[in-house]
Chain A
């Protein structure tokens, strides 16, 4: 049986090594899909390190938000850039080995984490959340809304700037474009469309000879 603290330390260094190696892969691999897969691995290993430090909420958020949503979208965009359907199908098989490697490394990291958890040993020192008798998420919420209220609000301002900047840099109001406006279509008044004209009922005049037709005298 290995010493729990030693095992935890070994796990930390292993995760850190995988993170750095995968990060290097992101910037050196020439194949974009491989680079994105490396980035997934980088995020995942970082999340594992956070789990070791008992920052569960951050780790889960990183996996759900970045690995689960952002990176998968990213991967789709990169793979779909070449619209040709045949090539895409080929791509899935071609990238399978790298995908499997990344998945296997992730599996190994998860198993190691389960091992650490099973040993119930603390190496990183006292966790302020456990000291306060709260769960990690609850403690994070308390910290964000009391001690770190100002940075939290500044971050909100930064997001506002991000929205304004995104709109101003992408929205193009072109003039002379014909488009439908559903609200205007619904609000239309029948009277604006049809005008009923009252006319005296008189017999139509006798048909005149069509112009241009030659008549022989």
Chain B
């Protein structure tokens, strides 16, 4: 029977749910003149939840609600960074939303519900909680993509996302039902032992394949990447920045819970499958990105390749690999918010700053913006000594230690190919002449510009001192 102790373990989630409901009511009944306070209300809610996550963290992993919910170190670190990147999204999104008349309370409510989905997903101890957390996250995301109803591109992106997402959820559920049929349990912790004793190993592997399809779709790994470019390009940039950051942490959390916790004994089966996904993602992501002229599409293909690197860490199937993949997911969440944050800050009414050509001569017009963008591009490309370099190094190392030397070589080769299109953006900013005299500068008030600068400079600082963060990532998988 669930009791009060169960709810205390679930306190951060329960708090955020209550906060979201209050937000919903305030939005409905507040004077329109005072609506802008909801922005700060949402950010304060997220920061308080971070405090609750960290302060109430038990020394050892604990479960609640009959093992449905697990609170351990992995969940803690993922939740902290998911909440943090969402708070950053709120800060960056405000000027953009106001300019486009999308500054409505529902943006905040839906995003917070999506974050609750992420928190439940990364803490899932049962196949049912995995699925429901995922649905909470994706359902909110579909609505967010369609938020700008008057834009045809947004509607098209939302429909594509919805149809493909529903298909992937169906695949995932089908896989889960097969696994349940083979083992007779939905509990991930018991699945581990039941999988070893099953009399139907083929059914189990069959279910595993479908679950990997679902994971691949949610990560956006090739060949299940079709939705990423259209959704990134079609959604309002304020939504793209969210979809490109925190849900990647959730996808890693889901892969870890399903594969490592639930299916760890079958690792010899899923290692090779993930390796294939990684190679395809690296190839498609990096090669197709070269020909893109739209900045958001370019970053979408770059996401696909980054998910390939994240999979390199998972292929290791050991604590070292999981730590490297977790570190990579965190680094990508920070880099993604920074990259899209700069695009958001440069955009203004009638100018989306979506094309690479829009950045021509940025250095002459706004040197600071150009410098920040250069740092982010170098970090995404993996140029030392930035954060992205060490993240790449660690996943390549994890792949080599697992005996996948060829995979590490492929990863390194594609890192060099990827360098080309990131450097092209830098070249356009620093060496091309501006097309017209149009002004382009960082929009928003001082707080937005300050937070954005801090976010980008964090990539530099974490590049020099990545040890403590990686140490945290390693600790959670050892204990």
Interface residues of A (CB under 8 A from B): 146-151, 154-155, 157-158, 160-162, 164-165, 167-169
Contact = CB atoms under 8 A, between A and B. Distances in A.
Closest CB pairs A-B (n = 5): A165-B143, A150-B65, A168-B106, A154-B132, A150-B68
A13 B220 CA distance: 37
Contacts, number: 62
A167 B106 CA distance: 9
A95 B462 CA distance: 68
A165 B142 contact: yes
Interface stretch (B44-52, B72-80, B133-141, B237-245): B133-141
Contacts of A168: 104, 106, 110, 143, 147
A161 B104 contact: no
B459 interface: no
Contacts of B305: none
A150 B106 CA distance: 25
Contacts of B65: 149-150
B139 A169 contact: no
Interface string B1-30: 110000000100000010000001000000
A158 B110 contact: no
Contact of B139 (A149, A151, A161, A167): A161
B152 interface: no
Interface of B: 1-2, 10, 17, 24, 64-66, 68-69, 104, 106, 109-110, 113, 116, 120, 126, 128-129, 132-133, 135-136, 139-140, 142-143, 146-147, 149
Contacts of B146: 169
Contacts of A147: 66
A209 B278 CA distance: 99
8 contacts: A146-B2, A150-B10, A154-B136, A157-B17, A157-B136, A158-B135, A161-B143, A164-B109
B113 A157 contact: yes
A149 B104 CA distance: 33
A47 B346 CA distance: 56
A156 to B, nearest CB: 10
Given A157-B116, A161-B110, A161-B143, A150 B104 contact: no
B113 A150 contact: no
Contacts of A167: 106
A151 B127 CA distance: 10
A167 B149 CA distance: 12
